[in-house]
Every structure is written in structure tokens, then in C-alpha cells.
Amino acid sequence: MRSRFSAFYLGGYGQYLLDTWAPEHRGGLTALDLNQRETDWQRLEIIEKSQQGDYGMVEFKAYFLDTDGQQDCHHERSKFERRQGCWLYCIAL
């Protein structure tokens, strides 16, 4: 989760984001789409995490600045799966 947030924060890491996203949940996004840094991400707060074998969940808050420069928050519980030794983002729960 932290590495994916960093990739969104920095921008230009679309291929990494695509490679760490389960193919069946990408919704047609491309590396070029994900390269764009459209949101001014500020920080990440991990609230809860759990793992059972090859399945994991991360609840987090990702803070960003909205178009008016005010801080806002994206709150999500995400499902991850380990496939061939790599963790992949699947869906928001």
C-alpha cells in the first residue's frame, strides 16, 4: 500500500501501478493513464491491516489538497492478493 501511494504521489510510475494491480480489476486503465499526477497527495495514514495467507486487507486514509487548496481525505478498505510472490491491489471493500 505504501509503495502504491508513493507512486501516485510522485506521478510517472504508471507501469508500477499497473503491475501491482490485479488485471481483472484495472477497468481498462493503462500505464499512460496512471502516469498522470492529477491529485496533490499529501500523506498516507494506515488505520488497520490484516493478512491471512495470500489475502490481505489495508484500511487507510490518503490526504490530498482539493482544487481550492483545502485538505480532504480519501478513506478506503482495500483487498490485496499475493500471486506468484507479489502483492496485487484488487478492490476497495
- Cα gap 55→14, rounded to integer Å: 24
What single letter denotes the amino acid at residue 68?
D
pLDDT at 93: 79
Length of the chain: 93
- What CATH topology corresponds to 2-92? Nuclear Transport Factor 2; Chain: A, (3.10.450)
- pTM higher than 0.85, yes or no? yes
Residue 85: CB partners within 8 Å, gap ≥ 6? none
pLDDT tens-digit series, residues 9-56: 999 999 999 999 999 999 999 999 999 998 999 999 999 999 999 999
